[in-house]
Amino acid sequence: MVTPMNRRLTCGWLASVAVMVLIGSARPASAAEIRMLGAGPLRPALVALAERFQRETGHVVKIETLPGAEVTKILASDEPADIFMSNNLATVDGLLKDGKAAGSKTLVGRTGIGVMVRKGAPVPVVATAADIKAAVLAADAVAYNTAPSGQFVEKIFEQMGVAEKIKDKSVRPPNGASTMERVAGGKGAEIGFGLRNEMTPYLDKGLQFVAMLPDDLQNYTRYEAVVLSRSKSADAARAFLAYVISAATRAPEDSAASSRVSRADSGDAATAASCRASSRSARRCSLMSSAANSTGSDGVLGPNRSQCSDCSPASSEASTAGARRSRRWPRRRS
């Protein structure tokens, strides 16, 4: 005998089965495991996107950052691997030329040099080269590492004619992490320079991002990726790269697909991987179309730029209160 209660139970059971079938059909028949070599500074952003990609497709992406010699050894062998990414563009081109990579290369992202201060410290104006010169001359200390990014900053100071003038107050840690820690734990009117993506882990540890270097001073490091010819999951690997570079075209609803600001002052390209993860005001982010294959200086993302006016703990102050705070930044004549 069919009662109303039985009918409701049967309908509910059928509905549950239908939902499970639909969920199952959204996943590939056999999920692939993708091995990606050489994420470098973009690893945090790529890991976040890989997790989202797995939730949406079922494909697992394992991202490995290994010493250069070990990566070279893997590439020269038949060891399983699917994607190779590097800022050594000659190596990427070489893999394509030698037939070790298939298809075309993908511009995944770029990193650029930014300006930072201790959270709560006066925020200098750094919109132009003249502003940068005035800021370092007025600062109590200037921090930048001895790694390649710091060497580039040093050349800027030499070209400005201020290298000798700030030599005694320059602090030169050996790497990016040490530089961030030094600035975050500093005192007075100190200023620091470093790769924007390396600042990200320290934004909730006392560090404040001010802005990227002006375009006429900037030096971007590009990261390109290729799918290796040996890949057993080439289609899934290509799908992941396409997913990465398309992340900037999607609304920032997910914490792993939004952007931590790269240029709060002008909205120049930002990474599309971690804004909402660290900012409560990410709803203010908006996406704007840009030239094909332009990417974020803090990380990922392909054909579109992500304009984010208030996507990091620092950007709101930098954009709305920077000018006010800069009045407290002591000025010294050069």
* pLDDT of the residue at 3: 56
* Terminal Cα-to-Cα distance of the chain (whole angstroms): 96
Alpha carbons 199 and 191: distance in angstroms, whole number: 13
| Whole-number pLDDT of residue 320 | 35
Q: Which domains does the chain have, with CATH numbers?
A: 30-108+223-249 (3.40.190.10), 113-219+316-326 (3.40.190.10)
Q: What is the dihedral of CA 150, 155, 159, 164, to 10 degrees?
A: 70
**Residue 329 pLDDT:** 54
334 residues of the chain, pLDDT tens digit each: 555 555 554 455 444 444 344 334 445 557 899 999 987 778 888 999 999 999 999 999 999 988 889 999 999 999 999 999 998 899 999 999 999 999 999 999 888 999 999 999 999 999 999 999 999 999 999 999 998 899 999 999 999 999 999 999 999 999 999 999 999 999 999 999 999 988 988 999 999 999 999 999 998 989 999 999 999 999 999 999 999 988 744 533 333 333 332 322 222 333 333 333 333 323 222 222 222 233 333 443 443 333 332 223 233 333 333 333 443 455 544 4
pTM: 0.60
pLDDT number for residue 83: 98
How much helix, strand and coil, in percent to the nearest 5, is found in the chain? Answer: 40, 20, 40
pLDDT of residue 68: 86
